[in-house]
Amino acid sequence: QTNMSQVWQNIELLIIPSRYEGLPMASLEAMARGIPVLCTQVGDLNKLIKHNINGFIIQHVSELDQELKTWTLMNTEQRAAIQQAAQLTITQYYSTQSILPKLLSIYQI
């Protein structure tokens, strides 16, 4: 996809059913836009996703349908809380504003 800005606006929940993963940029990009992630517990996704707080994390892909159902049955306020928490996670821990001071202190600039 060459222009994700038009695609992101149509995504309500990002599903990452990977068996092997590090920390996918797609998860960070989605959450920065307030799009929660439903993913398997692989790589560092368990450090990013807090189940039922800022997204959904499952042990095995067989649980995918149940968590997707959980999302679809949530009311507007419940969804909004998870969307806001997803965005806040990125702002607090992965944004330029949070990372740059740490890098500068490492390099003592």
User: Which stretches within the chain are classed as H helix?
Assistant: 4-8, 25-32, 45-48, 64-73, 76-93, 96-107
Q: pTM here? A: 0.88
pLDDT in tens, 24-57: 999 999 999 999 999 999 999 999 999 999 999 9
In this structure, the number of other CB atoms found within 10 A of the CB of residue 35 comes to 21
Give the count of alpha carbons within 13 A of 105, CB side only.
5
Q: Considering the chain, what is the average pLDDT of its residues? A: 93
Closest CA to 35 of 21, 17, 19, 16: 16
